[in-house]
A and B are shown apart, each in its own frame.
Chain A
Amino acid sequence: EAQVTQNPRYLITVTGKKLTVTCSQNMNHEYMSWYRQDPGLGLRQIYYSMNVEVTDKGDVPEGYKVSRKEKRNFPLILESPSPNQTSLYFCASSLYPGNSYEQYFGPGTRLTVT
């Protein structure tokens, strides 16, 4: 089954404790992206990657890191989480950058930072 998976689905952590949210897709998609969803703000892009080893900032990159060492994986790293990073996070992928605008989303990771 074609899908984007994220782990964990739920996470409660404390300020400053490094964490990683994993994202994996099995569709051989080149483009991957991370979004956060906050009340009243919709979904906002954090980082994106057009291919292996090619990543760039989105609209709200502060406090986040990403890496793309393999095509299928695109982990989101919070080196020192803070309460303002409490949010619902979505990973997404699409077949080609600049071609397909239909992105496939993972199920989401709800993160709470206390």
Chain B
Amino acid sequence: DQQVKQNSPSLSVQEGRISILNCDYTNSMFDYFLWYKKYPAEGPTFLISISSIKDKNEDGRFTVFLNKSAKHLSLHIVPSQPGDSAVYFCAASAQANFGNEKLTFGTGTRLTIIP
């Protein structure tokens, strides 16, 4: 039972354009969402997060949008740069897991930025 779903395994975007990565979740207890970025042969690194009390969080070129009613979040990268080429994982956590910061991960989307 995949509670966090990233339905697009891959995405190609022209350099300078907007990249939009999508994530859907099924567990209504999730109240904190994160995006991690992963380069080959490296561990995931934290990119940006959003609490369920917000619907948008912005950090430089990266913006995460949360639509709680649709159980959907998206990551916008604008403008996209070649260094953004990586696998992006969506992850979610529930306050009920207080004390265990278990992250439930999606399966990842491979983003390729075309120069």
Residues of A within 8 A of B (CB): 4, 31, 33, 35, 40-45, 48, 50, 56, 58-59, 90, 92, 94, 97-98, 100-108
Which of chain B's residues have a CB closer than 8 A to the CB of A35? 105
Which of chain B's residues have a CB closer than 8 A to the CB of A104? 46
A2 to B13, CA, bound (A): 33
Q: If A40-B107, A42-B4, A102-B34 touch, does A108 touch B42 (CB 8 Å cutoff)? A: yes
Closest to B4 in A: A42
Chain B, interface size category, equals 20 to 34
Which of chain B's residues have a CB closer than 8 A to the CB of A48? 100-102
Residues of B within 8 A of A (CB): 2, 4, 32, 34, 36, 41-46, 49, 89, 91, 93, 98-108
Counting chain A CB atoms within 10 Å of each CB, the highest count among B4, B46, B101, B102 belongs to B101
